[in-house]
Structure formats: structure tokens, C-alpha cells
Amino acid sequence: MVKQLSNSLAHTDVSKTLHPYTDARAHERQGPLIIDRGKGIYVYDDAGKEYIEGLAGLWSVAVGFDEPRLVAVASAQMAKLPYYHTFSHKAQEPSIRLAEKIVGMTPAPLSRVFFTSSGSEANDTMIKMVWYMNNALGRPKKKKFLARNRAYHGVTVASGSLTGLPNNHTDFDLPIIPVTHLTCPHFYRFAHTGETETEFAARLVAEAEAVILQEGPETVAAFIGEPLMAAGGVMPPPAGYWQGIAALCRKYDILLVADEVICGFGRLGAAFGCEHYDFTPDIMIVSKQLTSSYMPLAAVIFSQKVYDAIADNTAKIGTFGHGFTASGHPVATAVALENLEIIEERDLVGNAARMGRILQTRLGELSEHPLVGEVRGAGLIAGIELVSDKKTRRPFGAAGKLGAMAFVAAQNHGLIVRAIGDTIALCPPLIINEDQVHELVARLSDALDDAAQWRSAENLS
């Protein structure tokens, strides 16, 4: 009966759905893996097979897949007030309390919150806020953004323009806003021969300043970056990079935007990535672990300086002509409040630091594997880059082919990961314990052995 249901669901999925980040024709051939339920760090397919969810869903489920407190809070709020908006002076208690909570958690000078339903919407909102602010301040030319190659900031028309990944631009006619993508701050791949990490960081900061001067500081509005680049391949920045970028932004009156959609709320073993890397943003974007993705919610958090410029202009125009039906949704914000309470009560930020040290150490042991070129990460996020030649760091000619095989092999061993080209990404729930870390690495090691055998059989180079 289960198998028949699975086949029926799979057929319906293939015949009716277009999946994100998926080769649609390949999906027609192979069909979906249908996930039926979750428990802790594990999920189970409709045949009952168990998987360690090594990517926390999509970098996002902090408290695991069966937290009863979040279910109870959502149910209670649905019964009390299932929906109300925040337009035209309206409000409800959960969104008010959550805004207060977020401001209390984030570093100064962040003091105001605007809610959306996704990180993409939040970055779209941020772009509009920055433009609106500079128009209000009589700086109509100050509209350009600086981002980085391999950055990920969303998929809407504007946020997708900030993203620096080719597949997010190809045939979508992006970028469509004024943005310059700078060198990706990944030392392993983009440092010059003989260049130290310090020299690499200095070169990237100098590149950013050269672009600012070439474009004209009066035209550059903001620099946006993930503290640790995640969806582009899990790439920590070189030491000193963020301090140099922050100094440039102060020097040229450029807003510094920290995209904390993945790093925020404990992922790196600190409350926020900007704290982990010791820099202070003017604007912060959060989502994902804000609700552990039990409900769609995101937020733009910004300084009083940004707020005042916007607020003064709303008084002049008569409104802030931007918002979403679900901005500050009461069920989503109630769930977020409870989720953040759980993160604090159970010290999941501390757990991410403690388990992260174990995870990074155990993954470091895989550096001896013949396929592994680099293991990198921080806290409970990591990337394992597979290479054709360890000594020269030469990637495989057929980019992504071995990564896709390792992805399948991991799934066969009961581990869900993300293949980003030939980098295998890990980002387990923050509740993971030591035994589970060891089991995750064991399953990954078996998957890499299978991938190595497949590589030899296919003569992949």
C-alpha cells in the first residue's frame, strides 16, 4: 500500500509540479524522494527509510523536525488570530513582541525591523529601502550595490541580481539593478600563487576600493555580503577581510549589509555571523533559523539612521509604499518567538560552537581522502571540495558530475547533503549531539568511498 501511494504521489508530482533548483527533464525520469515525517535531526521517506538531514532542510531547521512547542504555539495562535496585516497603523502582539526580541538580540546600532516572508523578499525590500533613503536625502545617484561572485542573496528580480551565481542569472536577464560583483573571498580557489591569507584579504579590499573610486563614491549605496558565504560553496572569509570592508564603507559613506539568512541565530557558534567575524553592519537580513522554517518569515533589521531618513520621507509623501500581505504574520511571528526562546533556553548557539568544533575536526580527517581537496567551514556549517588533483587543486573537467554522484551516494547511506558543483555542503540542525556528529561523518565517509569507486570506473578526471 505504501509503495502504491508512493508511486501515485511520485507520478502526480512529476506530472504537475515544477521544482526549484531542479533539472525538470531529469526529474521526469527519476521522480522525487518523498519525505513523509521528521524526528530530531532525522527525516523519513514514504518507505520508512531514515536519513540524517545534513543540511537542516535548506540550511534552516535549528530545533529539529518535530519540536512540539512550535506546533503548539502555531495551533494556539491559529485559534486566537490566524491572520492579520500590519498595514495602515494595524498591529498584533506576536509581531510587536518579535520585533522587540530581535532588536534585543542583534548588535547596535540595529534598532528597527521590517518583516517579510522570505530572505529574497527581505533583500528586495532592503534594496528599495536604500534607494528610498538616498532619494529622501537628496542623493539620487547613490544607488549602486557591491556584492561578490558566488554570493547568494535570493532569487527575485532584484535580490537575484545581487546573487553572484551564473545559474541564477542565465536566461533570466539578470542582473537588472546596478550591481558590481567583486572577487569571491575564497582563499583556496582565488588566492594568487604564493599569496598569504593576509595578502589575499588586502588585495580584495583594495579591489573594492578601486571599484568604489572608479564608479564614484557618490554613486555607491551599499555593500552586501554573507558573513560566511554558504550557498555558493561554504566559504569562510580570509582573516581581516570584514574589518577592511567595514572600514571602506565608513570611509565612503556606504551602507554595510550583512546577509545573515543562513549564518544568523547560531549557525557559526555565535549569535550572528557579524559577531563571529567582528564587524558591525548598518542593515541585517535574517530568515531561515528565525522560525526553524516551521513558518515562512524573514526580517530586515536596520539602524535608527536608516529609519529616520525613511520615516521623514513617509511624512513628506504620506506613506511608505511597500509591504506584503503576510508582513509580520501573527502565526509566523508567534512561532519565531517560541523558536528563539528554545534556542536560548537550550543554549543551541553554545551547542553549535561545541558540536561545531567536533564536526570540523572529524571532517578535517577526511582531508586524507583521495578525492578531498579542502575541508572548510565554521561552527555547524561545512564544505568538502572534491578535486581531481589534490596537489595542484585542479577541479574535475566535468564540473559537478562527481559532486552529484557523491550526493546520491550519501543519500543511499542515509545522509542528505547539498552538492554545490563538486563541493558537498553540510549544515545539520543545531540540536545535533556528539554521537550524531560521528554518525554523520561516518555516513559521509562511506559516500565518498563510493564516489571514489565510481570515479575510477568512469575514468573521470
Averaged over successive runs of 10 residues, the pLDDT of the chain (461 residues) comes to 63 96 96 97 97 98 98 98 98 98 96 98 98 98 98 98 98 98 98 97 98 98 98 98 98 98 98 98 98 98 98 98 98 99 98 98 98 98 97 95 98 98 98 98 98 96 92
Pairing of strands 50-53, 415-416: parallel
**Environment class of 139 (CB within 10 Å of its CB; exposed 0-12, middle 13-18, buried 19+):** middle
Q: Is the dihedral of CA 326, 18, 67, 258 positive or negative?
A: negative
Reduced to 3 states, what is the DSSP secondary structure of residue 308? helix
- On the CB side of 343, how many CA atoms lie within 13 Å of its CA? 28
Which pLDDT belongs to residue 404? 97
Q: Nearest 5°: phi and psi at 73?
A: -65, -45
Q: Report the alpha-carbon distance of residue 360 to residue 30 in Å, rounded.
A: 34
Which pLDDT belongs to residue 283? 98
Going from the N-terminus, what domains does the chain have, and what CATH number goes with each?
Answer: 33-63+347-458 (3.90.1150.10), 70-345 (3.40.640.10)
Which pLDDT belongs to residue 7? 75
Query: In what side-by-side order are the strands of the sheet with 381-386?
Result: 372-378, 381-386, 423-426, 418-420
CA dihedral 429, 432, 435, 441 (to 10 degrees): 30
The label of the residue with cell 571532517 reads: 363
Which pLDDT belongs to residue 312? 98
CA distances (Å), origin 284, targets 147, 175, 323: 15, 22, 18
109 neighbors 303 (Cβ within 8 angstroms): yes
The label of the residue with cell 521544482 reads: 19
Which pLDDT belongs to residue 1? 34
Which pLDDT belongs to residue 247? 98
CA distances (Å), origin 407, targets 34, 159, 400, 423: 16, 28, 10, 10
Which pLDDT belongs to residue 243? 98
**Residues 6 or more apart in contact with residue 262 via CB below 8 angstroms:** 59, 60, 226, 228, 230, 231, 288, 289, 381, 427
